[in-house]
Structure 1
Amino acid sequence: MNITLWVVQVVAALVFLYGSWLKAFQYEKARESWGWIKDVPKAFVVFISLVELLGVLGIVLPLATNITPMLTPIVATGLAAIVLFGALFHVKRKEYREIVLNIVLFALTVFVAIGRF
C-alpha cells in the first residue's frame, strides 16, 4: 500500500506542477489553453497556482524527508479542497470538460489523505 500511495502522490504532484506552473509563470499560454482564466482576475489565478505549487512540495517532501510527515495528508486534504472548489466553479460555468480533471485530482488527493492519515 505504501508504494501505491507514493505513486499516487508523485502522479498528483506532477499533474499539479504542470497546471500550476503554466498558470503562474506562463500566464498567457494558460489563458489561451483554458478559457476560464480570461474571466478571473490574474492575481487570483496566480495566487491559486502558487498555493498549488506549495501543495506540490507539501504532498511529497514532508514524508520523503521525514520532517513533519503529518503535513503530507494535511496538504493532500487542502489540495482536495482546492480541486473541489474548482469543480464547483466549472459546474457553475457549465465547463464539463474541465470537471473530469478535477474529479481525477480530487480522487487522487483524497486517496493520499486517507492513506496517509
Structure 2
Amino acid sequence: MNLALWISTGLLAAVFLFAGANKLLIPREKLAKAPGGGWAGDFGAGFIKALGAVEILGAIGLILPAVLDVAPVLVPLAATGLAMIMVGAAVVTFRRREPGHALLNLAYLALAVFVAWGRFGPGSFG
C-alpha cells in the first residue's frame, strides 16, 4: 500500500508541478490557444497565476513533509486541496463540453482522493 501511495503521490506532484509552472510562466493568451487551454480565456490572468502558484505549493506539500518527516499530516491535506482544485477543473471542462479533458481531470481527482484517503488512514505516516 505504501508503495502505491508513493507512486501516486509522485505522479500527482509531477503533474501539478508541471501544470502550475505552465500557468505561472506562460501568458494567459498563449495558454488559451494551446490544446485544451480554452478554459484560460474564461478567467483573468491573476486567477491563473494564483492557481499555478497553489498547484506548485500543493505539489511541494505532497512530497516534502513526508521526505523531511516534518508535519507529515500536510501530505493528505495537500492531496485534499488538489482534489478540490480538480473538482473545479472537472466542472469547468464539463461546462465547456470538453469530455476528454473532464475525464483526465476526474482521473487526477481519483488519484488525489486515493492519496488523501491512504495518508489519512491505512498508509498514514504516524
Please give the range of the TM-score, normalised by the shorter of the 2 chains: over 0.9
* d(CA) in 2 for partners of 1:69, 1:45: 28
Q: Which runs of 4+ in 1 moved over 2 A?
A: 27-32
Aligned to 1:31: 32
1:48 aligns to what? 51
Residue aligning to 1:95: 98
Residue of structure 1 in register with 2:2 after alignment: 2
Q: TM-score, normalised by structure 2?
A: 0.87
RMSD of aligned alpha carbons: 1.2
Structure 2: which amino acid aligns with 1:30? Answer: L
Once residues 26 and 48 of structure 1 are traced to their aligned partners in structure 2, the CA distance between those partners, rounded to angstroms, is: 13
Equivalent position of 1:70 in the other structure: 73
Q: Percent identity?
A: 38
Structure 1 position 94, deviation (Å): 1.4
| Structure (1 or 2) with the greater helix fraction | 1
Is the CA contact (8 Å cut-off) linking 2:39 and 2:92 kept in structure 1? Answer: no
Equivalent residue for 1:81, pick from 65, 77, 84: 84
SS of the residue aligned with 1:69?
coil
In the alignment, which residue of structure 2 is the partner of 1:115? 118
Shift of 1:49: 1.0
Gaps of 5+ in 2: 121-126
Displacement of 1:29? 4.0
Deviation at 1:97, TM superposition (A): 2.2
Structure 1 length-normalised TM: 0.94
Cα displacement (A) at 1:31: 2.7
Deviations 1:70-103 (A, max 9, x none): 0100110010001001111111221222212211
Paired residue total:
117
Kept in 2, the 8 Å contact 1:73–1:113? The answer is yes
Aligned counterparts of 2:33 and 2:76: Cα–Cα separation in 1 = 33
